[in-house]
């Protein structure tokens, strides 16, 4: 080798090195632009009264979808729909709850009238009919009639004209193939419809969380009560509520009986059956002529539970995840280092109503499924000290980019889990993608430091740790960039299959 050639080689090496250094500098500049301060401001906007608790289908939700689209447009994150818009619409009936309503114990054996209080004792039903019902209360366990499973909570119990006290969920808890046979009975909508068909007037649902994932049924008034109210209604029956509930789940045998008390439930609502809602979808286009045809999908649900009786701000669930992916999208669009593959950001609507938005997106994909590398979902990622990529261990080629980013720049406790087959009904947008055959991962926090107020009026920004949101977003930015530029990755291969 002559001297001239050696010198040229050295020069080329130096230039490459300088380019790599410049690139790292540019990446770090963007990385440091992600700020917990800005993210907390965005979370406050999402959680504010002007969006009314972001109930999917309501004017408040459609307004917040517009706000997110404006943010994306300003940050030059492109529309994700083929018609150059950000909005993917779907039907979404909703119910506006005007007041907390009331629950009154009219008479027990000792004939004491008693008012229960919002929000300590109960929340109004998110899809309750308007009006009032009163009647004898009957405890009906899980409210399930499953003859093929030898289980019926309504055997020898007349519920016509009665108010039911009912559990959510199913009495069977093992994660095995038997669970599949119980799945259809686990839906609130099944339970409501069935109770109604048997002639029940109304319902006290033992699960004090606001929940729009139910049905509006004409004349059917219901509310969510906490366990103390259930225990109160069990008084003088010789049984304890907590023990009765536990014994049904332990034995998987019904135990229904009248509580010998009369209750009145009132609600003030308006039902909007013809409404629609939307996903907000945006993308940072890939820069490699070939790899840009492959995409990574990152999602978080934007909707929350509205204002049943008062504002339920939905800051952690899921203002946090929405803000995390918004900040990552802005960073990727602003970065001078472009991803080779395309990255799609989706803010789902209708999650709380029954995963409507994710179902819409897998039924009407904006990107060919076989060209999708993976889907990463964020739900409640704003409270903690560590980060966790669920299912990551099953996809080491994906995990490594996030692990590396954390080890090099973020230094949080970082964990990953193995994908497991779930036999119960899907409970997250990620589960819908998983079921549809996408390689799916979930970013979570670990080391929760603040009290979680799930579907409650206190789910406000005080319950967030903005520092972990900043780091979740930084992790997404670096991890997504690494993954998008990894030539060795194959789209959507080697997925853990759903049952």
Residues engaged in binding Zn ion (CB under 5 A): 317-318, 379
DSSP labels, 452-470: --TTSTT-SGGG--HHHHH
Least separation in angstroms between CB 273 and Zn ion: 24
Could you list the beta-strand ranges (E) of 331-430.
342-348, 372-378, 386-390, 413-416
Minimum CB distance to Zn ion smaller for 154 or for 444 = 444
Q: Which is nearer to Zn ion, 317 or 459 (CB)?
A: 317
Task: Work out how close the CB of 427 gets to Zn ion at its nearest, in angstroms, rounded to a whole number.
Answer: 9
* Interatomic CA distance for residues 237 and 139, integer angstroms: 11
Structure-token match 């109210």, residue found: 229
Cβ pair 230, 209 in contact under 8 A: no
Nearer to Zn ion, 351 or 471 (CB): 351
Q: Which is nearer to Zn ion, 96 or 317 (CB)?
A: 317
H helix runs in 188-240, sequence order = 188-197, 227-233
Q: Which residues, at least 6 apart from 128, have a Cβ–Cβ distance to it below 8 Å?
A: 95, 97, 101, 216, 220, 221, 222, 223, 267, 269
Quote the least distance from Cβ 454 to Zn ion, whole Å: 9
Q: Work out how close the CB of 460 gets to Zn ion at its nearest, in angstroms, rounded to a whole number.
A: 15
- Across 4-21, b (16+ Cβ under 10 Å) vs e yields eeeeeeeeeeeeeeeeee
Least distance to Zn ion, CB of residue 308, Å: 16
The CA-based dihedral angle spanning residues 75, 81, 83, 86, taken in that order and rounded to the nearest 10 degrees: -50
Nearer to Zn ion, 360 or 401 (CB): 360
Rg (the chain; Cα; Å): 26
Query: Based on CB atoms, which residue is closest to Zn ion, 237 or 422?
Result: 422
CA 249/CA 279 separation, integer angstroms: 38
Closest to Zn ion by CB, 153 vs 317, is 317
Which sign does the torsion angle of CA 465, 469, 470, 471 carry? Answer: positive
Q: How far is the CB of 301 from Zn ion (least distance, A)?
A: 6
Q: Closest distance between Zn ion and the C-beta of residue 478, in Å?
A: 25
């Amino acid at each position: 080798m002559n001297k001239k050639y050696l010198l040229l080689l050295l020069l080329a090496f130096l230039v490459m090195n300088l380019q790599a250094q410049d690139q790292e500098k540019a990446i770090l500049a963007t990385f440091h632009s992600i700020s917990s301060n800005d993210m907390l401001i965005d979370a406050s906007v999402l959680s504010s009264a002007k969006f009314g608790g972001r109930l999917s289908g309501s004017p408040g939700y459609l307004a917040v979808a517009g706000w997110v689209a404006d943010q994306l447009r300003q940050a030059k994150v492109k529309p994700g729909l083929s018609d150059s818009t950000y909005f993917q619409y779907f039907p979404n009936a909703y119910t506006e709850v005007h007041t907390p309503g009331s629950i009154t114990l009219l008479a027990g054996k000792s004939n004491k009238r008693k008012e229960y209080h919002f929000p300590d004792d109960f929340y109004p039903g998110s899809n309750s009919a308007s009006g009032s019902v009163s009647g004898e209360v009957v405890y009906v366990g899980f409210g399930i009639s499953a003859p093929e499973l030898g289980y019926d909570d309504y055997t020898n119990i007349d519920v016509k004209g009665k108010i039911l006290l009912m559990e959510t969920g199913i009495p069977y808890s093992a994660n095995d193939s038997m669970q599949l046979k119980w799945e259809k009975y686990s839906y609130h909508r099944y339970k409501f419809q069935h109770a109604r068909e048997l002639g029940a007037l109304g319902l006290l649902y033992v699960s004090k969380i606001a929940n729009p994932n139910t049905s509006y049924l004409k004349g059917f008034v219901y509310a969510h009560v906490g366990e103390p109210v259930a225990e109160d209604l069990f008084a003088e029956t010789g049984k304890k509520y907590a023990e009765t509930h536990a014994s049904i789940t332990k034995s998987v045998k019904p135990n229904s009986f009248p509580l010998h008390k009369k209750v009145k439930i009132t609600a003030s609502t308006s039902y909007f059956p013809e409404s629609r809602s939307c996903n907000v979808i945006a993308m940072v286009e890939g820069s490699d002529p070939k790899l840009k045809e492959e995409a990574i999908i990152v999602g978080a649900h934007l909707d929350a539970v509205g204002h049943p009786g008062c504002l339920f701000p939905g800051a952690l669930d899921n203002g946090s995840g929405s803000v995390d992916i918004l900040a990552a999208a802005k960073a990727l669009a602003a970065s001078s280092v472009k991803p080779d593959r395309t990255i799609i950001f989706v803010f789902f609507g209708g999650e709380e109503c029954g995963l409507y938005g994710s179902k819409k997106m897998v039924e009407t994909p904006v990107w060919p499924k076989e060209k999708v590398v993976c889907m990463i979902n964020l739900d409640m990622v704003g409270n903690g000290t560590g980060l966790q990529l669920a299912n990551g261990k099953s996809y080491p080629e994906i995990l490594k980019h996030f692990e590396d980013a954390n080890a090099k720049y973020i230094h949080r406790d970082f964990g990953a889990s193995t994908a497991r087959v779930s036999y119960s009904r899907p409970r997250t947008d990620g589960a819908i993608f998983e079921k549809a055959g996408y390689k799916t991962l979930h970013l979570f926090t670990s080391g929760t430091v603040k009290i979680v107020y799930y579907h409650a009026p206190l789910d406000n920004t005080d319950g967030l740790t903005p520092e972990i949101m900043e780091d979740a977003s930084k992790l997404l930015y670096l991890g997504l960039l690494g993954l998008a530029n990894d030539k060795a990755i194959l789209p959507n291969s080697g997925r853990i299959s759903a049952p």
